[in-house]
């Protein structure tokens, strides 16, 4: 069951920080996958894995939107979520296939979306329901497995994927332990808009990487995925804040997330200066200038902080249709700006375009949240009226 909300703000802050820190384990899985692939497969297969990593992230977001986010966005429910057994079986089964077969890029590409969906939903349920103790154990399993796999890859071991997928399987099983509540029913109209929103926004990174792979070369696709993955570490506090704000408004969680975001940026810069990412990702990173693109990517990710607050407020209010329409338009703008940036300045231009698009999105959603508060009708109990 979820941890009781006792002990006041300091105790809640400590529990929140522990759960927030555990998000690093989820964020390192894409990085570990790319790192291990760079030691096991040739450049063409590495390109496949680079695209598959972003597709896996998209698949995880899509399943998450159905299982978790649609329920949190249904304002007339009590917003309770659980980890479905069918998803547990798929994720653990995919991990077992990778663990018990020789290293194969295609097998990994097929398994990654299933494992990612299990990780996304499992962590999302733990964070939303404040299952802090089991989340700490699960995060430790994922992080340990990823670290062991990366080290094995650096040492040239052909079994380097095994610790990674075993850690994922263990974490999935820990998060799947029974809970003392049932999942709330998601309003169908809300679910449709939430899933459409996730599809429209989540498809952007894999689409851009596929374009880069087609127009440039596998090395550039790997580099784009690597920089996106490293800057994606900033999604740990951002996703934590998003989940908590979808459940209920919390100034404490916003402050903790903002502080963690600054600390994460500093750690990324230090790691880049020390050359750690070159060791982790191999020649695709070390043979290219990466500091400036990485800094721009970090600023892009950080800008999501000001986007998430109005986004979550609109979702809590049940304005799923409005949010979806606005974010779909923003996604089209994002792809356009990123492709213009790619044509003008290569990968640096892509991240510059993404940053500009994020700032546009933040402005639009903030405006919409203000207008929605001014125009919001008195709740009548009909969830479709709020959409």
Spatial contact of 184 and 383, defined as CB atoms under 8 Å apart: no
Tell me, what's the pLDDT at 9? 59
Please tell me the predicted confidence (pLDDT) of residue 4.
Answer: 44
Question: Which are the contacts of 331, defined by CB distance < 8 A and separation ≥ 6?
Answer: 200, 201, 203, 204
Structure pTM?
0.77
Q: What is the DSSP string of 192-219?
A: HHHHHHHHHHHTHHHHHHHHHHHHS-HH
What pLDDT is stored for residue 89 in this prediction? Answer: 97
Please classify residue 44 by burial: count the beta carbons closer than 10 Å to its beta carbon, then call 0-12 exposed, 13-18 middle and 19+ buried: exposed
Q: DSSP 3-state assignment of 318?
A: coil
DSSP 50: H
**Residue 114 contacts residue 91 (beta carbons within 8 Å):** yes
Q: Give the integer Cα–Cα distance in Å for 29 and 19.
A: 17
Q: Tell me the C-alpha distance between 174 and 176, whole Å.
A: 5
DSSP SS3 for 80: coil
Distance CA 62, CA 112 (A): 14
pLDDT tens, N- to C-terminus, the chain (387 residues):
444 444 555 666 666 666 666 666 677 888 899 899 989 998 889 888 988 988 898 899 899 999 998 888 887 778 889 999 999 999 999 999 999 999 999 999 999 999 999 999 999 898 888 888 888 899 899 999 999 999 999 999 999 999 999 999 999 999 999 988 888 888 888 899 999 999 999 888 888 877 887 777 777 877 888 898 889 888 888 888 888 888 777 788 888 888 889 999 999 999 999 999 988 888 878 888 899 999 999 999 999 999 999 999 898 888 889 999 999 999 999 999 999 999 898 889 999 999 999 999 999 999 999 988 766 544 444 444 343
Query: What token pair was written down for 22?
Result: 């555990």
Closest among 170, 163, 157, 118 to 145, alpha carbons compared: 163
- Res 110: pLDDT: 96
């Amino acid at each position: 069951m979820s941890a009781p909300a006792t002990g006041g703000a300091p105790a809640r802050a400590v529990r929140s920080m522990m759960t927030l820190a555990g998000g690093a384990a989820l964020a390192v899985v894409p990085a570990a996958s790319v790192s291990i692939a760079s030691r096991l497969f040739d450049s063409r297969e590495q390109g496949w894995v680079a695209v598959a990593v972003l597709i896996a992230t998209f698949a995880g977001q899509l399943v998450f939107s159905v299982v978790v986010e649609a329920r949190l966005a249904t304002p007339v429910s009590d917003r309770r979520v659980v980890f479905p057994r069918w998803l547990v079986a798929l994720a653990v089964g995919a991990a077992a296939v990778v663990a018990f077969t020789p290293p194969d890029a295609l097998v990994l590409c097929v398994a990654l979306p299933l494992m990612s969906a299990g990780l996304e939903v499992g962590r999302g349920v733990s964070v939303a329901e404040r299952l802090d103790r089991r989340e700490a154990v699960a995060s430790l399993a994922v992080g340990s497995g990823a670290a062991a796999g990366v080290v094995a890859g650096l040492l040239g071991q052909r079994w380097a994927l095994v610790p990674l997928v075993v850690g994922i399987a263990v974490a999935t099983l820990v998060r799947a332990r029974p809970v003392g509540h049932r999942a709330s029913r998601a309003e169908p109209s809300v679910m449709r808009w939430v899933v459409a929103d996730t599809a429209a926004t989540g498809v952007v990174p894999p689409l851009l990487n596929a374009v880069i792979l087609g127009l440039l070369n596998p090395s550039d696709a790997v580099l784009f995925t690597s920089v996106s993955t490293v800057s994606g570490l900033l999604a740990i506090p951002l996703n934590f804040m998003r989940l908590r704000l979808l459940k209920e408004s919390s100034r404490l969680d916003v402050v903790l997330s903002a502080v963690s975001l600054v600390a994460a940026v500093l750690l990324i810069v230090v790691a880049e200066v020390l050359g750690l990412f070159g060791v982790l990702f191999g020649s695709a990173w070390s043979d290219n200038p990466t500091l400036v693109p990485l800094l721009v990517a970090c600023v892009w990710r950080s800008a999501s902080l000001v986007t998430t607050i109005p986004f979550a407020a609109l979702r809590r209010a049940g304005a799923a249709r409005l949010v979806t329409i606005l974010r779909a338009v923003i996604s089209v703008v994002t792809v356009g700006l990123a492709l213009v940036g790619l044509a003008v300045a290569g990968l640096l231009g892509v991240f510059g375009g993404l940053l500009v698009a994020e700032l546009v999105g933040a402005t639009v959603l903030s405006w919409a949240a203000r207008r929605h508060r001014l125009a919001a009708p008195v709740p009548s109990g009909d969830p479709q009226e709020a959409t």
